[in-house]
Amino acid sequence: MELIGKLGRADRQAFEAVAKAHLPGLEHVLPRLSRTADHSVLWFSTAAVLAASGRVRLRRAALRGVIAIGISSPLANLVGKQLFRRTRPLSKLVPPIRMYRQIPTSPAFPSGHSASAAAFATGVTLEAPLSVALPVAAVAGAVALSRVYTGAHYPGDVVGGVLLGIAAGLITRTVWPTLPDSAHVMRIQPVTSWRSADSGLGRGKGVVVVINSRAGAVAKGRAAFRAPAPVAAGLLPRPFPTPITHFLAAELPDAEITEVKPDNDFPAVLRAAAAKAEVLAVMGGDGSVNAAAHAALKGGLPLLVIPGGTLNHFSRALGIETPAAAIAAYRKGRLARVDVGCIRATDSPEIIFLNASSLGAYTELVEQRRRMEDRIGKWPALAVAAVRVLKDAEPVAVSINGRPRHIWLMFIGNCAYRSRGAAPTWRERLDDGLLDIRLISTGRRVRRLRAFVAVVVGHLHLGREYRRWTATSLHLHAGPAPIRIAHDGELSSAQGTITITKWPRALTVFTCARAENPVHIMRPGSTPG
């Protein structure tokens, strides 16, 4: 009790010191900031701005911050305040100009404003880059200070709220793991002649860029590209129809840029581009990158991935989230070799995948979404398709390594994924030589619903219907009837005996990913090993 008494006296003395303090320029700012944080309006508004940015990491940061507030706020206001019932400080010690218009009457400990501020800042910090996390944390700290400066709380109340908020933010990781910036790869070093100053590397000499005009970000014009200064000044003509082509033309003036229209044969354009390129670049989503990887592998070319789709799983794994990051990786010559998954089936063309392939309900989801997305948009189409699949999908009969199974969903990842559940989202390596195999066997509606929720959430364990293992190859037998296989968001059919294997470190790519042990590589254009 004596220790509690000493802490209480120190807390009151600290409050009196803050009450007497004069912070020039903040007499009006901190009270207004404190009122803006009422009911977490400030944080919900910030979350809306982050979500509207279109960047995956910022959207995740916004959502994690809001979830953290959802945890901290009831704990502070409904549990903590009612449990401790500490009275508010004496308002007469605070100058009237700094005081709230109406002094709160609820108990003081812990500070709900501070808890929400710290929770949101912690959630954002776990996902967002420092350029975003630091300003958010600074504003959260100012809100916490304002609670003492305006006379609403003792410093101890604020400290308690901050600790509660930080804990709430960290708790979100137990139910929703954070994503790493990129995967690990074994980076390779190109020969000096290719990177020499007179090779034109920085200007895009030998680069052929193929842009898929149907890709999500390209088609909707959502990507934020700065207007090239020469174009804006009228020194460079405007021969290209979209902002991204202006951007690329300014950044890589010696490159050849081709924008593929919806009615063109995209794979054929890529093959023609690979035939004359030293570096093949593609802008589009994961399906576009998959097609470009085909052409790059056949031509023995390094592949430059410029994100332009809706999800961009592969480019994100490479640490490339924006076109500017892709250009930076290219100019620095950051090359690496990554694994490629390969599907061979009886009487069917060879299929590759860079992220994952799937059987079962997901293929129906992709197929139904495609039928509707041109009319109602991709995300609404995905929601409608999900409801239909949940209602109508039936298990697929297939033999897996000689064992008959009825599968509702089968996920086969290129390299081991570290997030849990039947629809994982991130991996630590892109060159481990493994297939990550995850399987849900179910036919009854209740189990189907549970499996579907797990797929949507992406990390839940599913009980005995769910299995996971890693291997270097997988053998399936689908029988005489063809089955649908999704690979990097695209759909194909296969029948008979299906063999899924790996091509370890077969594809050379430009990357911003974390590298280990750089090694030497031949001049681009040679066949990858």
pLDDT band (50, 70, 90) for residue 186: low
pLDDT at 157: 85
Q: Give the domain ranges of the chain.
A: 2-175, 184-334+511-520, 353-505
Question: Which residues lie across from 69 on neighbouring strands?
Answer: none
Q: Tokens 């670049």 sit at which residue?
A: 281
From CA 249, how far away is CA 181, in angstroms rounded? 28
Question: Which residues lie across from 484 on neighbouring strands?
Answer: 493
Closest CA to 410 of 435, 375, 380, 378: 435
pLDDT at 373: 63
What tens digit of pLDDT does each residue of 240-278 get? 345 778 888 888 999 999 888 877 888 999 999 999 999
Q: What is the mean pLDDT of residues 423-435?
A: 82
From CA 18, how far away is CA 82, in angstroms rounded? 26
What tens digit of pLDDT does each residue of 397-428 get? 788 888 888 887 788 999 988 766 555 777 87
Q: Which segment of 5-9, 218-222, 287-291, 522-526 scores lowest on mean pLDDT?
A: 522-526
Closest CA to 94 of 35, 31, 183: 31
From CA 464, how far away is CA 441, in angstroms rounded? 9
Pick the CATH number of 184-334+511-520 from 3.30.70.1290, 3.40.50.620, 3.50.40.10, 3.40.50.10330: 3.40.50.10330
DSSP string, 86-139: PPPPPGGGS-GGGS-SS---S--SS-HHHHHHHHHHHHHHHHS-HHHHHHHHHH
One-letter identity of residue 318: L
Top mean-pLDDT range of 92-96, 240-244, 272-276, 368-372: 272-276
End-to-end C-alpha distance for the chain, whole angstroms? 72
From CA 70, how far away is CA 63, in angstroms rounded? 11
Q: What is the DSSP letter of 263?
A: T
Angle between helices 56-74 and 112-127 (to 10 degrees): 150
pLDDT at 524: 33
CA distances from 5 to 1, 111, 249 (A): 6, 20, 70
Contact 326/332 with Cβ under 8 angstroms? no
What tens digit of pLDDT does each residue of 110-132 get? 888 999 999 999 999 998 888 89
From CA 458, how far away is CA 91, in angstroms rounded? 50
What tens digit of pLDDT does each residue of 193-219 get? 344 344 456 788 899 999 987 765 555
Summary mean pLDDT of the chain? 77
Question: Which residues lie across from 405 on neighbouring strands?
Answer: 398
Q: What is the mean pLDDT of residues 439-449?
A: 60
Is the preceding omega at residue 129 within 30 degrees of 0, hence cis? no
DSSP string, 36-54: HTGGGHHHHHHHHHHHHT-
Tell me the percentage of the chain whose pLDDT exceeds 90.
26
What tens digit of pLDDT does each residue of 2-15 get? 666 666 667 666 76
From CA 78, how far away is CA 7, in angstroms rounded? 24
pLDDT at 282: 95
Q: How would you class 152 by CB atoms within 10 Å of its CB: exposed for 0-12, middle for 13-18, buried for 19 or more?
A: buried
Q: How would you class 473 by CB atoms within 10 Å of its CB: exposed for 0-12, middle for 13-18, buried for 19 or more?
A: exposed
Q: What is the mean pLDDT of residues 17-37?
A: 75
DSSP string, 232-300: HTTSS----SSHHHHHHHHH-TTSEEEEEPTTS-HHHHHHHHHHH-SEEEEEE-HHHHHHHHHHHHHHT
Higher pLDDT: 160 or 102? It is 160
434: pLDDT strictly greater than 90: yes
DSSP H stretches of helix in 332-464: 361-376, 378-392, 445-457
Name 304's Cβ contacts closer than 8 Å, sequence gap at least 6.
Answer: 207, 209, 279, 280, 281, 282, 326, 329, 330, 509, 510
**198 in helix, strand or coil?**
helix
CA dihedral over 55, 47, 183, 188, signed as positive or negative: positive
Q: What is the mean pLDDT of residues 216-239?
A: 44
From CA 510, how far away is CA 278, in angstroms rounded? 13
161: pLDDT strictly greater than 60: yes
pTM: 0.68
pLDDT at 194: 41
338: pLDDT strictly greater than 60: yes
From CA 413, how far away is CA 436, in angstroms rounded? 5
CB atoms under 10 Å from CB of 116, counted, come to 30
CATH number of the structural domain 353-505 = 2.60.200.40
Closest CA to 486 of 371, 358, 314: 358
Higher pLDDT: 237 or 357? It is 357
184-334+511-520 shares the fold of 2-175? no
1: pLDDT strictly greater than 60: no
Any idea which fold 2-175 has? Vanadium-containing Chloroperoxidase; domain 1 (1.20.144)
Closest CA to 208 of 331, 298, 294, 292: 292
Q: What is the mean pLDDT of residues 170-178?
A: 79
Structure tokens at 87: 């009275």
